[in-house]
Structure 1
Amino acid sequence: MKILLTAINSKFVHSNLAVRYLKAFTKDMDYDCKIREFSINDREEKILEEIIKESPNVVAFSTYIWNIEMIKRLSNLIKLVDENIEILYGGPEVSYDSQNILRELNGDYIIEGEGEKTYREFVEYKLQERSLEDIRGLYYKKDNNIFFNGKRPLMNMNEVVFPYEEDENLDNKIVYYESSRGCPFNCSYCLSSTIHGVRFLDIERVKKELSYFIKKEVRLVKFVDRTFNCNHKFTMAIWEFLINQDTKTQFHFEISADLLKDAELELLRKAPKDRFQFEVGVQTTNDEVLNRINRFVNFSDIKEKVDELLKLRNIKQHLDLIAGLPGEDYNSFKRSFNDVYSIKPEEIQLGFLKLLRGASIREEAVAYGMKFSPYPPYEILKTKDLSYEELLKLKKVEEMVDKYYNSQKFNNIINYLVKQFDNPFDFYYELGKYFDKKGYFNRNIGNSEYYKVFLDFNMEILKGDKDILNELLRFDYLNFNKKRGIPDFIGRSIKRGEEEEIKNMLRHKYSFKEYYLESFEIDIQTFLKDSIIIKKKDYYLFGYGGDIIHITEEIKEY
């Protein structure tokens, strides 16, 4: 008897934790179990071919908002090819209103919620060691009817089996890890609020399992814990362990910034640079709206802790906002954006409210005039406070923030241009309008074109000083791009004779096979420090390995 655990991930670099948990929890059982991972970018006919080639008795799909539509179609195709192949579904997208969902799907079973024990008993049933009617947490079709054997109690976390295998190849993968399940909060838009309480793995076990990733030199481990820092003792132990490791592996955590304690901040001060990444769900800075979604916290408390983390200068922060929350209009969201922008985190994500199956916010949709797509990912279309047209404006801002701000490749250009607007939101909205006008949203543009957009935007819309912008644009470009084949619109400032003279001065100290020399007509160093424009010559070396050296003072000595 063969079961094919099938994951269709949102990106190739992602790995699916759920199917690994199921396989690990049944590894002592006498059946043929295989994991196959695909991505939503793969062709359906190719996925179908690969599934059928495995000759499975059962195909088990891990379902989410990003893959459920593809899985529906694949289920139909599988049944057309071989109606004897049974299909089992699990995951958040089928764990609510499961009876009706199974009626709609061309499959045979649904595991509701936490799946390890239900799946193990399902395997026992397929091995004729258990009755189908004894499996709690399972919906199944029989005689054109759908049956459910009742909910299954939550398991002890230490019963969970570590999901990764010793010889597993995790090169170039983002690896997901879970040290706790559940969330202490009750946010109305989140599925975690449907399960109360938080369960933790044993601390020593977590350390041992994290050592596995470190030994394998995994690039990035993303903790899927909903609020990693909700248990002070647990948090301190894991962070201290990771801080003391000799590794280049990075660890990503979702945290609630307002819960950070002084002792935790003091510990984080010792973390090697970029060892940790923090994702902080701000959602909105409107305290009334926060209360409406059952987040009983003030933005001022979040900001205080985020500012303290920024001062450490060793942890990358990603701050989330959600548009379309109950009671938040366009101007309130604009204020939220400007509030978060003022903190200057490394990344800002503008998300749009999704009314997920099972989330309590669906029950409030009528009260707040929420209209949302009936199709995954169930994204908001409008509310009584925010029109569809206003949401489209926010989507333009979101794209500009993601393309420009989050890349961190245009920081000095943006810092200069933002000051020409009343607030940061207006800058990104105007840039988004310009992008739309030029048709850039509808086609892929090259890397250098992203820089040229600023020059054209400045000339056509702002009509500002093109010489200053060009200097900052050249600096940012050289900072992140190849030094050979610089586009003509960026050009060079240093003259050939001056370049040779400076190289002769400094040849004893620098190998110019490793560095690219450039001059600037403004004091770049002062702008980097104070965002002030001073017109005077400034000189830099840009290393082909990525380092940058300010050499103006060295030149003056000659």
Structure 2
Amino acid sequence: MNVVLSTLNAKYIHTNLAIRYLKSYAAPEFEVQLSEYTIKDPSMNIVTDLFHKQPDVLGFSCYIWNIEETIRVISMIKKIMPNVIIVLGGPEVTYDVNYWLERVPDVDYIIIGEGELSFKQLLNAIKNQEDVSTIPGLAYRTNEQLSKVNPQSNKLDLRELPSPFRFKEDLPHLSKRVIYIETSRGCPFRCQFCLSSIEVGVRYFDREKVKEDIRYLMENGAKTIKFVDRTFNISRSYAMEMFQFLIDEHKPGTVFQFEITADIMRPEVIQFLNDHAPNGLFRFEIGVQSTNDETNDLVMRKQNWDKLTRTVTMVKQGKKIDQHLDLIAGLPEEDYNSFRKTFNDVFALRPEELQLGFLKLLRGTGLRVRSDDFGYVYMDHAPYEMLSNRVLSFSEVARIKQVEDVLEKYWNDHRMDETIEYIVTHEFNTPFDFFQEFGMYWEAAGWSRIGHQLEDLFIRLYEFLETRNTGSLSIIKDLMTYDYFANQKHKPRKSWSSEILSKEEQQSVYLSILNSKNEPESLAPALRLTEKELNKHTIVEKMSFDLQHYLETKEIVNASTYVITYFDPTSHTVQFFNLPAKNINTTKKE
């Protein structure tokens, strides 16, 4: 029997862990082929590829991001292969199974919840032409009007599950993709917007098997390994053991990502990581969602803001671990002003990434069941995103989406760190106000519907700031120039700004460097360059303040300076050297 398991990932770099667990559990009785695609792939290409595999049983792993595209593929498949047995599984079809059986008549079976055992039992029944009515966790039609849903039985012993990582066909891709791994299933919390709240308790995999899998992945080139545990640090002893293992045995260039609950992480754990973790080895994802206590109570979310702040601050001070903090707009009783406060509360922590998402009323969640209580209006189809509720109008939702757009480009992508820090600190009442006003301007200009080169992002921010008639525009412009050069690996042909020094003035700066031995100590590295190297690998800009002093203290000292930017051709790094303008003789020679 030819069995194929498929899914449509959000991006090429993603991998699907679920179908790999199904494949490993089905062995050795069944040899399962894996076929992964992306939601960007044309449906005809996917269907053609699956047709060539000629499956007898074809399974799809379904999520909110791929369900609609998956349905289109299934419809086409059934037209050309009417006898293929279609099986669906995954969180999107686990709930409201009668709806899915009715909406997608081409589907033969739906696996509910944890699928390893149910899927293997189904394959055995199909192969042996046996009755499926006693298989737990299975839904199917008994006739055109009636469906049968068998509830899931006892959970698997995760310690006995075979590894999902030992497939030869995966080896060539390990270094190019995000590899997902789980050390536990379940979540101790009951957040009503999250599917994890439905499962009671937390179950763990065998620790030594997990470690062996991680060793195997690293030895075969895996670079980014993401733990999908809903709360990796729920057990302090377990988290510490894994942190120590990863520190001891990591390979250079490998990054491990975790979802952690920040307010339960003890200071001694953070101190241990600050003291012992190599820089860049770990990355934390922290779901804050809201700082409104009433909102958190309504969604049954326990959160100690003071302890969360302590954790994020300690990690940031350690300068070892990047942090990704999540917000959800549209939670119950969080109106526009309350969300503005939530945003500013979290932005004050200056996370390396601040993800602004919008509430999705997921099938099976308590919040979807109670959606009428809060006046929710939301999309009928996946991703079921909220459109409004009784305290947040659609107009306000649309305004917050303007914030999301520029936040991603101007903060999370780290193209202008110094510039944005100065702007939100000195030019606007709050960071949210900057992103909101800029986002409104961005959309009004039509920029949300077109692509952008790096230079465009600088030009468009400057255009927006010009409309405000700020007295600090020259300082901001100089900081933008610094950020522009700091993000280059090679010397650009020009700056983002059309204003450049004359060749004569630039040459005067170079001559001063070459001829003087009494320049500031900060300029010493530049003094070792030859005239040819200066011309080839540096750019000179004139600034209205002392850049070096600002970078060290965040204080503006008005002093005209030349900044020499050196683009090292060997290391592809950038170095900046300050030279007081008073030291340069720019008088033209007769």
TM range, smaller chain: over 0.9
Q: Name 2:213's counterpart in structure 1.
A: 209
Q: Name 2:588's counterpart in structure 1.
A: none
The answer to whether structure 1 residue 252 and structure 2 residue 257 are counterparts is yes
Amino acid at match of 1:120: K
Matched residue of 1:28: which SS?
A: coil
Q: Name 2:540's counterpart in structure 1.
A: 518
Larger deviation, residues 210-219 vs 338-347? 210-219
Q: Name 1:38's counterpart in structure 2.
A: 37
Q: Name 2:99's counterpart in structure 1.
A: 100
Partners of 1:415 and 1:531 within 8 A in 2:
no
Which of 557, 560, 564 in structure 2 is aligned with 1:534?
557
Matched residue of 1:314: which SS?
A: coil
Q: CA deviation at 1:135?
A: 1.4
Cα deviation 1:47-70 (Å, max 9, x = unaligned): 111111111111100000011111
Partners of 2:112 and 2:151 within 8 A in 1:
no
Q: CA deviation at 1:256?
A: 0.3
Residues in 1 aligned to 2:436 and 2:553: alpha-carbon distance in whole angstroms: 25
Larger deviation, residues 514-523 vs 342-351? 514-523
The answer to whether structure 1 residue 236 and structure 2 residue 240 are counterparts is yes
Which of 454, 464, 467 in structure 1 is aligned with 2:461?
454
Residues in 2 aligned to 1:99 and 1:191: alpha-carbon distance in whole angstroms: 19
Q: What's the TM-score once normalised by structure 1's chain length?
A: 0.95
**How high is the sequence identity, in percent, across the aligned residues?**
34
Aligned residues: 557
The answer to whether structure 1 residue 224 and structure 2 residue 249 are counterparts is no
Cα deviation 1:172-191 (Å, max 9, x = unaligned): 11111111100110000000
Partners of 1:258 and 1:302 within 8 A in 2:
yes
Residues in 2 aligned to 1:319 and 1:255: alpha-carbon distance in whole angstroms: 10
Q: Name 1:198's counterpart in structure 2.
A: 202
Written as runs of structure 1 = structure 2, the 5 A alignment for 1:71-90 is 71-90=70-89
Written as runs of structure 1 = structure 2, the 5 A alignment for 1:271-420 is 271-418=277-424, 419-420=426-427
Q: Name 2:152's counterpart in structure 1.
A: 151
Q: Name 2:186's counterpart in structure 1.
A: 182
The answer to whether structure 1 residue 509 and structure 2 residue 535 are counterparts is no
Residues in 2 aligned to 1:361 and 1:474: alpha-carbon distance in whole angstroms: 47
Partners of 2:10 and 2:66 within 8 A in 1:
yes
Q: Is the alpha carbon distance of 1:4 and 1:503 closer, same or farther for their aligned partners in structure 2, counting shifts above 3 Å? A: farther
Amino acid at match of 2:497: F
Q: Is the alpha carbon distance of 1:84 and 1:94 closer, same or farther for their aligned partners in structure 2, counting shifts above 3 Å? A: same
Larger deviation, residues 212-221 vs 353-362? 212-221
Q: Name 1:430's counterpart in structure 2.
A: 437
Amino acid at match of 1:101: W
Q: What's the TM-score once normalised by structure 2's chain length?
A: 0.90
Q: CA deviation at 1:518?
A: 3.2
Q: Is the alpha carbon distance of 1:500 and 1:89 closer, same or farther for their aligned partners in structure 2, counting shifts above 3 Å? A: farther
Which of 488, 491, 494 in structure 2 is aligned with 1:483?
491
Matched residue of 2:140: which SS?
A: strand
Partners of 1:284 and 1:336 within 8 A in 2:
yes
Q: CA deviation at 1:488?
A: 5.8
Larger deviation, residues 37-46 vs 469-478? 469-478
Q: Is the alpha carbon distance of 1:78 and 1:260 closer, same or farther for their aligned partners in structure 2, counting shifts above 3 Å? A: same
Amino acid at match of 2:548: Q
The answer to whether structure 1 residue 266 and structure 2 residue 271 are counterparts is yes
Residues in 2 aligned to 1:299 and 1:488: alpha-carbon distance in whole angstroms: 41
Amino acid at match of 2:290: T
Cα deviation 1:172-217 (Å, max 9, x = unaligned): 1111111110011000000000001001112222221111222123
Higher Cα radius of gyration? 2
Matched residue of 1:78: which SS?
A: helix
The answer to whether structure 1 residue 139 and structure 2 residue 135 are counterparts is no
Residues in 1 aligned to 2:83 and 2:498: alpha-carbon distance in whole angstroms: 63
Gaps of 5+ in 1: none
Amino acid at match of 1:108: D
Residues in 1 aligned to 2:288 and 2:90: alpha-carbon distance in whole angstroms: 26
Matched residue of 2:6: which SS?
A: strand
Cα deviation 1:513-539 (Å, max 9, x = unaligned): 895343442222222233222233253
The answer to whether structure 1 residue 498 and structure 2 residue 509 are counterparts is yes
